[in-house]
Amino acid sequence: MAGEAVQKRRRFLQGVLGAAVTSFFVPIVYGMGRFFSFEGSPIAGASLKMSAADLTPDAPSKLIEIGGEPVIVVRAVDNSVHAYTATCPHLGCVVTYQAENPGFFCKCHNGKFDAKGVNLPGSKPQEPLKELVLKSQADDLEVFLTPIKQA
């Protein structure tokens, strides 16, 4: 009987220890999860000014660099101007714009996106290119390294 009581007490104490260890590590693991899943860039909000006249029907796209990040500015078929991140979401190569068959193309793994930067099914990238905030006044453009919030 005494042995059984000791066993019982031991199991209880082991349970207490296990609970203590768990409650010690759970917040740490939670905090680390939050820490590592952050999405953002130290250069968010940086901008670059350019002229819309640089985008001609012959060369409707221009690759620029904002704070070290490649950005592609495109004059679309409807003549509107848009800016996208030029980094392929697959493995990070720089994409190019193809005017003849409007859309983006990544040479590294044959990644394909439509004219609005949405990844095409069947190609490697699983995410669209991010469209960036662009302010225009007549021909003066200012591209911001800030993604347009999706509705």
Partner 1 sequence: MEQSNTTAISGGTSKHPTELHSGPHSESVAELLHVGEISNGLHLHEVAQALHLKQLQDAIKQKSVPKHGSSIWYYMGGLTMFFIVIQVVSGLMLLVYFEPTTQLALKSTAMLENQVPYGWLVRSLHSWTAHAVLLMTLLHMFSAYFMKAYRPPREILWVSGVALFAIVMGMGYTGYLLPELSGKTLRQFFALHVGVLPGLLAVLGVLHVVTAGFIGSSTPIGAKVKKRILFFPNYVMSELVVWLVAFAAIFTLSWVMPVAMSAVTSVGPKFTATQWIRPEWFFLFLSQTFRYLSGWIGNSFVLVLFLGWLSIPWLDRRSRKNEKSRAFNYIGIAIILYMTIMTTLGYMTIAQEKDAPKTEQTPPTK
Binding site for partner 1 (CB under 8 A): 31-32, 34-36, 38, 40-43, 67-68
CB of 45 to partner 1, least distance (A): 10
CB neighbour list of residue 117: distance below 8 Å, 6 or more residues apart: 82, 84, 104, 128, 129, 130, 131
How many separate helices (H) and strands (E) can be counted in the chain? 1, 9
Q: What angle do CA 87, 89, 90 make, to 5 degrees?
A: 115
Q: Which is nearer to partner 1, 35 or 100 (CB)?
A: 35
CB of 137 to partner 1, least distance (A): 27
CB of 108 to partner 1, least distance (A): 23
Q: Which is nearer to partner 1, 41 or 56 (CB)?
A: 41
User: Which phi-psi region, left, alpha or beta, contains residue 138 (left: φ > 0; alpha: ψ -120 to 50)?
Assistant: left
CA nearest neighbour of 68 among 89, 39, 41: 41
Q: Which is nearer to partner 1, 68 or 121 (CB)?
A: 68
Residue 23 DSSP SS3? helix
CB of 42 to partner 1, least distance (A): 4
Q: Which is nearer to partner 1, 34 or 149 (CB)?
A: 34
